[in-house]
């Protein structure tokens, strides 16, 4: 018995990988439809913040994530854009991460198709090109953004676009938001939100979410979405279930598997030690 | 020689450090222009440094291929991957989409880079699970507390976990897993995070002072 | 003949009639109160870069619900309406400046006008004219026109608390550096991760396998990367002395350039310049997961005896550490990202937490100057702890005893403006 338990404790990790694969593939093939009941307070705060903005308000959305964190962060971006368009907000999408350009192109493709077909590029929203040196961009956005962004990603003049009417810097914008898998949100808070007193919110990966709780408590961030669960919560709040909600089943099973493995491993360890 | 290799770099470091520090307290346009100029210079230096890095990469892998060292085949892929993305980028002038059509670069980004990056990130999930099984042993009271907190948080974050909790403790009507999870996130976790943040911030300030005043000189190389 | 008893009745009726029909005097509430515009001032907004103007005028009983203030500005002949707000809003207390730079209790309306937002051809130093208008239904009042020119200010007084703290920290810094060479040296508690460097290098030498050192994915301006290069210097010296193979893959080309100099110097100091090779430091990729995949592949193939992961790491931390663990390498890690520390804890033999990373340079080199600067960190931490305790106690006392001034002072002292 002891030998068996020792063998199980030293099981080949590839078998664990296989078990996890099967557990993750199953809900994708056959969705469980688990209900998402509890919505995080910070997600609710973000939703309420956007909900409270009057029509015509300006939202600056910085999508600073790359394809690696796409499954967690892309649904967040899509949900926020849908909500913002529903509230008739003007949206400016930019990125400080070179890897995000393709993902933004995908969003740009989807807006006229299914996200908000009635919204017009240049009048209701604009997409800016990638800019290196994030700190320089953040600082300049607080002073005169047209010094650094004079054209949109297609090379059209930015200042003359109707969507940019009355906007010169972040002080003219009603809300800023950064969705990122890196520490970029820290920089946005330090160099833009705090420095220029701009209301700011964020979207991060689940593992980074806890790091931003101090900012939520001090009011430096008005709301925060964390990981796929945050995206699913937001989709529930706006009543449009998408990839965020779809991934919750797999997420649930993976979590339960981790808990089960830890419990089983420790029971076996105790068994070996005391019996 | 000491003047060029030691004193001038130290002087530049000192002057630029002080100017950047003082720009925080002096709210004039000159201050702003100075910060903008420094940012632009940093961009330029980063661009040239990237070229430097690229040459280093090519040189290192070319040497591996010419000397046929172990694993030299993998070095070929460096060049294949580089050309596969750069040539279409040059052809399409850096655009990923022309109208509604994907360019070569766009295709490579969407079907190669997307897939490969997503794969690397998702490998984390497997590693986390196997590490949890291999390494998470409750050998002390502190580890037990850690596991209890982790258990509550993991259950609170997913619908299945919430359902399990309600099934086990829902009859008490008192403990809502989401509230307990939220409290764990808002209070003990944030307290620990704040403590580490403060220590790091102070360490960062001291390191910056050391560099500005020339006490830390490792980056300059040989004295 | 008139009945004489009716006369008092007539008088009583007449008296009553006169009382009823007497005109009621005007109530004080219905008389419109004129606003006091004699104290209207227009001046440069203090502590800014010269793009704003501050207008102020006394608040008073005219600030009733329904009334509004309108603010106008002009550069030439035409007036532009800059702002309009209810008469009871925009007071001195609404300006977010600390008590040492602004009197929040002044009974004034205060409006800060951002001039570039109003005039496209704005230039710093140009004089503009300003006036305010009070409107309460049909009742209006207008202030005299006053000129003002926004000018840049040399010092942001609001940041005085920050500057004083910086000055005190710098003084403590210089004091500790000047007292660096003390008898017996400075006590630094044992940091297991740093003590294990000798063990790691020794193991690599015995096994004849390389050592991998990663400085993370931070740029050269990131403090953890700077700390990592300090540790790299010490590791490189030991590696040079033992003639072991060292490989340092890089995420950032600038970090690679700096690390090359550091390693070269380390080899020179160990009198092993002949063993130094330029390709010890090499660039891999500036994409996070491409870097992780490449380094993982190298670790998997070359099976190093020791891996060092010290610097700024994000999601790739577990990818690197886990692959290193499967090859049986001794692993020493350190990062400032507390979200990645759990991954390093489970996969690595030794982990440096938070500012142990920043103390590493002093700990390893044992240079008195570097060691003494650790005292400054201790001072900083002591100050923070004292501030938390004292600040919390003062705020509590101020709230309990309803001492608003104390609460305001404490809040302003510890706020960053």
Q: How close C266 gets to chain B, by Cα (Å)?
A: 9
Which residues of B fall within a CB distance of 8 Å from A269? 137-138
pLDDT at C40 over 50: yes
Give the residue with greater pLDDT, A201 vs A171: A201
B68 to chain A, closest Cα gap in Å = 32
Look at A102 and B109 and tell me if their CB atoms are within 8 Å. Answer: yes
List all residues of chain A from 219 to 238 with a beta carbon under 8 Å from chain B: 229
Given this model, what pLDDT does residue C1 score? 46
Q: What is the dihedral of CA C308, C313, C316, C322, to 10 degrees?
A: 40
- Residue C181 binned pLDDT confidence (cut-offs 50, 70, 90): low
Say which residue the tokens 């800023």 belong to. A176
**pLDDT of C19 over the 50 cut:** no
Q: Angle at the Cα of A254 (from B112 to A97), degrees rounded to 5?
A: 35
Q: Which of A69, A99, A183 shows the shortest C-beta gap to C287?
A: A99
Length of chain C: 417
DSSP H helical ranges for chain B: 2, 8-22, 29-67, 72-91, 104-107, 114-135, 141-157, 159-169, 177-186, 188-212
Please check whether residue B99 touches A, CB under 8 A.
no
Task: Please report which helix (H) or strand (E) contains residue A217, including its range.
Answer: helix A213-218
- The chain-wide mean pLDDT, for chain C, equals 87
Q: Report the residue of chain C nearest A98, measured CA to CA.
A: C287
> What pLDDT is recorded for position A199?
96
- In this prediction, residue A111 has a pLDDT band, given cuts at 50, 70 and 90, of very high
Establish if C340 touches chain B: CB-CB under 8 angstroms: no
Q: Cβ of A210 and C339 within 8 Å? A: yes
- Closest C-alpha among A174, C47, C102 to residue C94: C102
CB-CB contact of B112 with B96 (8 Å) = no
Residues of chain C neighbouring A182 (CB-CB closer than 8 A) = 288, 314
Instruction: State the smallest CA–CA distance between residue A16 and chain B in angstroms.
Output: 6
Question: How far is the C-alpha of A102 from the C-alpha of B36, rounded, in Å?
Answer: 28
pLDDT in tens, A204-226: 999 889 889 889 988 999 999 99
> If pLDDT is split at 50, 70 and 90, which confidence band does C6 have?
low
The partner residue sitting opposite C339, judged by closest CB among A171, A197, A207, is A207
Q: Residue B173 corresponds to which tokens in the numbers above?
A: 């009507």
B150 interfaces chain C, CB cutoff of 8 Å: no
| Yes or no, beta carbons of C163 and B207 under 8 Å apart | no
Contacts of C251 in chain B (CB under 8 A): none
Pairing of strands A58-64, A175-180: parallel
**CB-based contact C416 A194, cutoff 8 Å:** yes
The answer to whether residue A190 neighbours chain B at the CB level (below 8 Å) is no
Tell whether domain A41-241 is in CATH 3.40.50: yes
Of A66, A144, A208, the CB nearest to C339: A208
The answer to whether residue B37 neighbours chain A at the CB level (below 8 Å) is no
As a whole number, the mean pLDDT across chain A is: 91
User: Does residue A40 sit at the B interface (CB-CB below 8 Å)?
Assistant: yes
Question: B161–A255: do the CB atoms touch at under 8 Å?
Answer: yes
Which residues on chain B are in Cβ contact (under 8 Å) with C374?
206
Taking CA–CA distances from B189, the nearest residue in chain A reads: A210
- Using a CB-CB cut-off of 8 Å, the residues of chain A touching B108 are none
Rounded to whole angstroms, how far apart are CA atoms B101 and A105? 11
How is residue B20 written in tokens?
Answer: 């950047």
Q: How are beta strands A90-94 and A125-127 bridged, if at all?
A: parallel
Of A69, A168, A205, the CB nearest to C116: A168
- Contact yes or no for B120 and C346 at CB 8 A: no
CB C286 within 8 A of CB C332: no
C31 falls in which pLDDT band (50, 70, 90)?
low
C227 vs C245: CA distance, rounded Å: 22
Residue with tokens 């000018």: C151
| C289: number of Cβ within 10 Å | 26
A contacts of C338 (beta carbons < 8 Å): 211
Determine whether the interchain pair C354/B211 forms a contact, defined as Cβ–Cβ distance below 8 Å: no
Given this model, what pLDDT does residue A170 score? 93
Provide the shortest C-alpha distance from residue B172 to chain C (in Å): 34
**Quick check: B190 contacting C, CB < 8 Å?**
no
Q: Does the distance separating the beta carbons of A16 and B162 come in below 8 Å?
A: no
Q: How much is the pLDDT for A122?
A: 94
ipTM, two decimals: 0.83
Tell me how far apart the alpha carbons of residues C25 and C312 are, in angstroms, rounded to a whole number: 80
Question: In B, which residues are within 8 Å of C322 by CB distance?
Answer: 127, 130-131
Q: What is the CA radius of gyration of chain C?
A: 37
- pLDDT score of A69 more than 80: yes
Over pLDDT 90: what percentage of chain C? 56
Q: Could you write out the three-class secondary structure of chain C? A: CCCCCHHHHHHHHHHHHHHHHCCCCCCHHHCCCCCCCCCCEEEECCCCCCCEEEEEEECCCCCCCCCEEEEEEECCCCEEEEEEEECCCCEHHHCCCCCCCCCCCCCEEEEEEEHHHHCCCCCCCCCEEEEEEEEECCEEEECCCEEECCCCCCCCHHHHHHHHHHHHHHHHHHHHHHCCCCCCCCCCCCCHHHHHHHHHHHHHHHHCCCEEEEEECCCCCCHHHHHHHHHHHHHHHHHHHHCCCEEEEECCHHHHHHHHHHHHHHHHHCCCHHHCCHHHEEECCCCHHHHHHHHHHHHHHHCCCEEEEEEECCCHHHHHHHHHHHCCCEEEEEECCCCCHHHHHHHCCEEEECCHHHHHHHHHHCCHHHHHHHHHHHHHHHHHHHHHHHHHHHHHHHHHCCCHHHHHHHHHHCCCC
Q: C169: which 2 tokens?
A: 């920290």
Give the other-Cβ count within 10 Å of A94's Cβ.
24
Work out the burial of residue C329: count CB atoms within 10 Å of its CB; fewer than 13 is exposed, 13-18 middle, 19 or more buried.
Answer: buried
Which subunits count as partners of chain B given 3+ CB pairs below 8 Å? Answer: A, C
What are A223-245's pLDDT values in tens digits?
Answer: 999 999 999 999 999 998 888 88
- More confidently predicted of A79 and C21: A79
Is A183's CB within 8 Å of C337's CB? yes
Q: Please check whether residue C76 is in contact with residue C134, taking contact to mean a CB–CB distance below 8 angstroms.
A: no
C68 is written with which tokens? 């509004």
- Report pLDDT for A59: 97
Question: Best residue in C51, C117, C414 to probe A by mutation, most A CBs within 10 Å?
Answer: C117
- 3-state class of A190 per DSSP? helix
- Chain A nearest-CA distance from B146, in A, is 12
Residues 122-181 of A with CB under 8 A from B: 132-133, 135-136, 139-140, 143, 147
pLDDT in tens, chain B (223 residues): 778 878 898 999 999 999 999 988 998 888 888 888 887 888 788 888 888 888 888 988 899 899 998 778 888 988 999 999 999 999 998 888 887 788 999 899 889 988 888 898 889 889 988 888 888 888 888 888 888 888 888 888 888 888 888 888 877 776 788 888 888 888 998 888 888 888 888 888 888 898 899 887 777 765 5
The pLDDT tens digits for C272-331 are: 999 999 889 999 988 888 999 999 999 999 999 999 999 999 889 999 999 999 899 999
Which residue in C has a C-alpha nearest to residue B17's C-alpha? C221
pLDDT bin (cut points 50, 70, 90) of residue C20 is very low
pLDDT at C22: 46
C155 close to B (CB below 8 A): yes
Find residues 349-368 of chain C whose CB sits inside 8 Å of chain B.
353-355, 357-359, 361
Whether chain A has a CB inside 8 Å of the CB on B196: the answer is no
Q: Given pLDDT bands bounded at 50, 70 and 90, which one contains residue C3?
A: low
**CB C53 within 8 Å of CB C115:** yes
The confidence score (pLDDT) of residue C24 equals: 46
pLDDT tens per residue across span A88-107: 999 999 999 988 998 999 99
- Residue extents of the structural domains in chain A: 2-30+251-274, 41-241
Q: What is the pLDDT of residues A2-42, one digit of tens each?
A: 888 888 888 888 899 999 999 999 988 888 888 887 888 99
Testing the interface with A: which of B23, B41, B159 to mutate, by most A Cβ within 10 A? B159
Partner-chain contact C220 B210, CB within 8 Å: no
The reply to whether residue B161 touches residue A136, judged by beta carbons under 8 angstroms, is no
Using DSSP's 3-state secondary structure scheme, residue A175 falls into strand
Cα gap A254→A248, rounded to integer Å: 10
Residues of B in contact with A249 (CB under 8 A): 160
CB contact under 8 A, B132 and A69: no
What is the number of other CB atoms lying within 10 angstroms of the CB of residue C241?
17
pLDDT digit string, tens, across residues B182-211: 888 889 988 888 888 888 888 888 888 988
Chain B residues touching residue A255 (CB < 8 angstroms) = 154-155, 157-158, 160-161
| Interface contact B219-C261, CB threshold 8 A | yes
Q: Considering only CB atoms, which chain B residues are within 8 Å of C46?
A: none
Q: Is C348 buried (19+), middle (13-18) or exposed (0-12) by CB count in 10 A?
A: buried
| Cross-chain Cβ contact A255/B158 below 8 Å | yes
The model's pTM is 0.81
Exposed/middle/buried for C236, CB within 10 Å: 0-12, 13-18, 19+?
Answer: buried
Residue A140's H or E segment, with its range, is helix A134-141
The pLDDT value given to residue B203: 87
> Among C190, C194, C208, which Cα is nearest to C308's?
C194
């Amino acid at each position: 018995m002891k030998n068996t338990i020792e063998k199980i404790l030293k099981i080949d990790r590839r078998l664990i990988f296989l078990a996890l694969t099967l557990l993750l593939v199953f809900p994708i093939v056959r969705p469980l439809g688990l209900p998402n009941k509890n919505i995080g307070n910070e997600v609710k705060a973000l939703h309420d913040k956007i909900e409270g903005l009057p029509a015509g308000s300006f939202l600056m959305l910085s999508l600073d994530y790359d394809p690696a964190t796409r499954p967690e962060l892309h649904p967040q971006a899509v949900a926020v854009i849908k909500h913002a368009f529903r509230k008739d907000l003007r949206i400016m999408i930019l990125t400080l991460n070179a890897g995000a350009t393709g993902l933004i192109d995908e969003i740009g493709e989807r807006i006229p198709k299914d996200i908000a077909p009635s919204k017009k590029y240049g009048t209701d929203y604009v997409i800016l090109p990638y800019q290196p040196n994030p700190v320089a961009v953040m600082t300049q956005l607080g002073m005169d953004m047209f010094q650094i962004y004079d054209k949109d990603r297609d090379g059209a003049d930015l200042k003359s676009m109707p969507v940019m009417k009355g906007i010169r810097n972040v002080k003219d914008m009603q809300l800023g938001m950064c969705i990122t898998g890196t520490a970029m949100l820290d920089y946005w808070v330090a160099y833009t939100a705090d420095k220029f007193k701009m209301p700011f919110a964020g979207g991060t990966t689940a593992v980074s979410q806890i790091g931003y709780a101090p900012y939520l408590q001090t009011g430096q961030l008005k709301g925060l979405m964390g990981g796929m669960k945050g995206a699913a919560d937001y989709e529930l709040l706006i009543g449009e279930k998408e990839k965020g909600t779809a991934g919750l089943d797999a997420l649930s099973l993976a979590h339960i598997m981790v808990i089960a493995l830890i419990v089983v491993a420790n029971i076996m360890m105790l068994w070996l030690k005391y019996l | 020689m000491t003047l060029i290799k030691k004193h001038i770099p130290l002087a530049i470091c000192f002057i630029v450090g002080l100017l950047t520090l003082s720009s925080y307290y002096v709210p004039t346009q000159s201050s702003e222009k100075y910060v903008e100029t420094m940012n632009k210079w940093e961009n330029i230096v980063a661009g040239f440094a990237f070229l430097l890095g690229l040459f280093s990469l090519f040189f290192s892998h070319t040497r591996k291929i010419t000397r046929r060292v172990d694993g030299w085949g993998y070095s070929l892929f460096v060049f294949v991957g580089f050309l596969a993305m750069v040539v279409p980028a040059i052809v399409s002038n850096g655009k990923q989409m022309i109208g509604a059509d994907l360019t070569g670069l766009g295709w490579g980004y969407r079907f190669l880079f997307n897939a490969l990056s997503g794969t690397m990130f998702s490998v984390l999930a497997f590693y986390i699970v196997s590490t949890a099984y291999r390494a998470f042993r409750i050998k002390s009271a502190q580890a037990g507390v850690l596991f209890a907190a982790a258990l509550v948080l993991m259950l609170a974050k997913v619908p299945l976990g919430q359902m399990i909790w309600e099934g086990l403790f829902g009859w008490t009507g008192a403990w809502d897993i989401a509230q307990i999870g939220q409290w764990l996130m808002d209070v003990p976790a944030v307290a620990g995070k704040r403590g580490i943040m403060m220590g790091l911030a102070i360490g960062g300030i001291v390191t910056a002072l050391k560099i500005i005043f020339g006490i830390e000189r490792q980056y300059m190389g040989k004295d | 003949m008139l009945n004489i008893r009716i006369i008092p009745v007539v008088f009583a009726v007449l008296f009553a009639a006169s009382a009823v029909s007497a005109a009621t005097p005007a109530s004080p509430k219905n008389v419109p109160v004129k606003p006091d515009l004699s104290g209207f001032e227009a001046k440069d907004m203090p502590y800014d870069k010269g793009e704003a103007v501050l207008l102020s005028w006394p608040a008073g009983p005219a600030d009733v619900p329904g009334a509004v203030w309108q603010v106008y500005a002009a550069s030439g002949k035409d007036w532009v309406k800059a702002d309009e707000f209810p008469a009871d809003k925009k007071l001195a207390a609404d300006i977010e400046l600390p008590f040492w730079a602004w009197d929040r209790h002044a009974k004034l309306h205060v409006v800060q006008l951002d001039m570039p937002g109003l005039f496209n051809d704005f230039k710093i130093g140009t004089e503009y004219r300003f006036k305010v208008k009070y409107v309460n239904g049909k009742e209006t009042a207008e202030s005299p026109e006053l000129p003002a020119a926004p000018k840049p200010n040399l010092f942001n007084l609001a940041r005085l608390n920050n500057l004083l703290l910086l000055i005190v920290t710098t003084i403590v810094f210089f004091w500790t550096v000047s007292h660096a060479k003390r008898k017996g040296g400075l006590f630094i508690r044992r940091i297991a991760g740093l003590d294990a460097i000798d063990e790691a290098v020794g193991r690599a030498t015995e096994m004849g396998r390389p050592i991998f050192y990663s400085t993370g994915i931070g740029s050269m301006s990131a403090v953890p990367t700077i700390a990592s290069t300090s540790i790299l210097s010490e590791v490189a010296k030991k590696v040079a002395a033992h003639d072991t193979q060292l490989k340092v893959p890089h995420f950032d080309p600038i970090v690679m350039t700096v690390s090359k100099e550091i390693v070269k110097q380390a080899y020179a100091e160990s009198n092993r310049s002949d063993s130094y090779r330029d390709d010890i430091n090499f660039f891999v990729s500036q994409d996070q997961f491409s870097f992780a995949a490449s380094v993982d592949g190298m670790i998997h193939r070359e099976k190093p005896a020791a891996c060092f992961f010290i610097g700024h790491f994000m999601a790739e931390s577990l990818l690197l550490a886990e692959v290193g663990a499967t090859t049986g390498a001794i692993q020493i890690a350190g990062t400032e990202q507390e979200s990645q520390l759990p991954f390093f804890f489970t996969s690595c033999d030794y982990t440096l937490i938070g500012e142990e990373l920043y103390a590493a340079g002093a700990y390893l080199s044992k240079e008195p100057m570097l060691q003494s600067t650790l005292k400054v960190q201790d001072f900083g931490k002591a100050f923070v702890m004292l501030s938390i305790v004292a600040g919390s106690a003062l705020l509590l006392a101020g709230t309990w005893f309803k001492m608003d001034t104390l609460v305001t002072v404490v809040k302003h002292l510890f706020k960053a403006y």
